[in-house]
A and B are shown apart, each in its own frame.
Chain A
Amino acid sequence: MKRRTFLMGGSAVVTAAMMGERAAFALPGPDELIWADDLPGTLDPHAVSDVPMQGYMINVYDTLYVNKQNPPKLVPWLATGHTVADGGLTVTFKLRDGAKFHDGHPLTSDDVAWSFKRMLAIKKGPAAAFLPVLDPDGATAPDPTTVVFKLKRVYAPFLAATPLVAILNRRLVEANVKDNDWGQGWLATNAAGSGSYIPDIEGYQPVQKLDLKRNRDHFMGWSDNTAPIETVRRRPIRETTTRVNALIKGDVDCTDSYLPPDQVERVMASKTATVSKDQSMRLMTLRMNNKKAPFDNLNFRLAVSHAFNYKGFIDGVLKGYAVRNAGPIPVNLWGAPQDLPAYELDLDKAKDYLAKAKAEGAPVDREIEIHIQEHLAQTTQAAQILQQGLRKVGVNLKIIPNLWPQLISSTAKPETTPDMWAHWVSSYFIDPENWIGQMYDSQFHGTWKASSWYKNEKVDSLLHEARGLEAKDQRQALYEQASRIIVADAVDIWIYNGVELRGISRRLRGFNFTPIGSGADFHTMWLAS
Chain B
Amino acid sequence: MIELRDLSKQYGARAPAVDSMNLRIEGGEFLVLAGPSGCGKTTTLSMINRLIEPSRGNVFIDGVDTHQTDPVALRRRIGFVFQDVGLFPHMSVAENAGIALKLAGKRPQEIGARVDELLALVRLPAEHFRNVLPGALSGGQRQRVGVARALAASPRLMLMDEPFGALDPLTRDELAFDYRRIHERLRLTTILVTHDMTEAMLLGDRIAMMREGRLVQVGTPHELCSAPANDFVRAMMESPRRRARALAEVQADEK
- Is B a genuine binding partner of A? no
